[in-house]
Amino acid sequence: MSDVPSSIRACMSFPKTSRILKKLEYKRVLDSGSKVVCHELVVFAIKSHSPRLGMIVSRKVGNAVTRNRVKRLLRESFRQEQNLQAWDIVVIARHNIANSDFKHVSRSLRRSLERLSKKLEPRLDRNKAIES
């Protein structure tokens, strides 16, 4: 990574502004967010001011090496999503994800986010109608 120019390295980073860091933020998303379940992931999302990601990868997924690999795959999948809505997203990794490759994890996350967008958009329209 030392031979990569700093301008490219900066766009490849995952800054703190793109992460959910506090327990209360996780709790808010998990308690009042919409949920989508797939074979490898459980994804919760709630409307926010910018796209942010939080991850929960328990020991059921595997040892520390496996868990860190899964987190790297999820971070990169999130970072490469081009059309992210302004949502706070919490991803809970299930044990089936341990043997998945990047392409499979990326596809699962993208499909989950598409399903969430269908779920959240009517809810947002309904809230605007109530406010009017």
- Domains of the chain, by residue range, sit at 21-131
Location of structure tokens 């900066």: 10
- pTM value? 0.80
| pLDDT confidence band for 4 (50 / 70 / 90) | low
Residue 126 has pLDDT above 60, yes or no: no
Per CATH, domain 21-131 is 3.30.230.10: yes
